[in-house]
Each structure stands twice: as structure tokens, then as C-alpha cells.
Amino acid sequence: MSDRDFLPLSIAVLTVSDTRTAADDRSGDTLESLLTEAGHRVAERRIVADDVEAIRDAVNGWADDPAVDVVITTGGTGFTGRDVTPEALEPLFEKRMDGFSAIFHRISFETIGASTIQSRATAGVLRATFVFVLPGSPGACRDAWAHILKDQLDYRHRPCNFVEIMPRLDEHLRRGGRSA
């Protein structure tokens, strides 16, 4: 694969749901299993209600924690009145990752066809922390991990990956933008 050593990341997992509990959080379980199998660490795992402030509080807390490299959320990306994860997080992103949504939908189309249009999966950077917003199904979490995140969160992946740019994500803060 590469002459580089694997660098494990610390990844926080947030399930957004009014109905899930730790006992039946299949999407959170799927993400935890996939990321630990890949060699990463679960920084923390939490479930919050479909509430803008609850979602923002959890993700902002992790973005402020230097021990958290990445946040992955699952749930709240549909079109019902309670689906508010993109509304909660996109305004916080310093940089949006439009390519994530495009690639996610291409991959998802292969699995569930045109139904992928019902997801508002998104991603961005918040205070030097990558944030990925996934639908609340185990299948969507598996697809996003297997076809996007697994490689992009692996320092050995070529031609490029997210890990190698992590040290530079906050350059704008060090150049006199905002104080870190």
C-alpha cells in the first residue's frame, strides 16, 4: 500500500435520533465497529435528539477538544420536520466538503437507486476537525465508510488523504484570522 505507517485517529460518533437508545443504535454500532476494525479509536459515542442546539453542542464540544480528530454523525439527514442535522451543522462549517455529498450519492445510487435523493449527507471542517454527516441507516454508514472514509482517513492512502492535511487545517487561525 505505502511506505507510510498507519496513524490511528480519534473519532467521535454522534447518533441523532428521537427514538434510538444505546441498546438499538444500529448505525452507531456499525460506525464504531468499522472504525475500530480499521485501527482507529472511538473518542466518544453519544446519542442526541433531533434538536439543532443538542446537535451543535455535541459537535462543537468535540471540535474544541484537541483529542478528537474527526466527528461522524448518523441520522437526521432526511426531509421530515425532525430531520435537522444539516441545518444544525452546515452553518458552523468553515469549509464545506461538497465533493463528499456528490461521491456519497454516486455510491449510494449503486445500492439504493434513486432513493439516495432523499438524503442530505454533507461534510465540512469545523475548527480543524473533519465532520461527516451521514444518513441514519447502517447501510449508508457502511457505504460511506467502505467507499470514502476508510481510505481518506488512512494516512497510507495515495494519491492523497485527509490525514496528511490535518496539521494544516487551522492555518487561517494562525495567520491572524481568529485566535486559536
- pLDDT, one tens digit per residue, over 100-146 is 999 999 999 999 999 999 999 999 999 999 999 999 999 999 999 99
Instruction: State residue 170's pLDDT score.
Output: 81
Average pLDDT over every residue of 24-33: 98
Average pLDDT over every residue of 155-177: 82
Average pLDDT over every residue of 84-97: 97
178 half-sphere exposure, CB direction, 13 A CA radius: 5
d(CA 153, CA 161): 6
Instruction: State residue 179's pLDDT score.
Output: 43
* N-terminal to C-terminal alpha carbon distance within the chain: 36
Tell me the three cell numbers of residue 100: 463528499
Would you say residue 175 has pLDDT above 80? no
Percent of the chain clearing pLDDT 90 (strictly above): 90
Instruction: State residue 160's pLDDT score.
Output: 93
10-174 CATH fold: Molybdenum Cofactor Biosythetic Enzyme; Chain A (3.40.980)
Instruction: State residue 3's pLDDT score.
Output: 85
Average pLDDT over every residue of 78-101: 96
pTM of the model: 0.94
Contacts by residues 87-92 (CB-CB < 8 Å, ≥ 24 positions apart): 87/52, 88/52, 88/53, 88/55, 88/56, 88/59, 89/55, 89/56, 89/59, 89/122, 89/124, 89/126, 89/131, 89/133, 90/122, 90/124, 92/56, 92/59, 92/60, 92/124, 92/126
Instruction: State residue 174's pLDDT score.
Output: 57
Task: Kindly indicate the confidence band of residue 54, based on its pLDDT and cuts at 50, 70 and 90.
Answer: very high
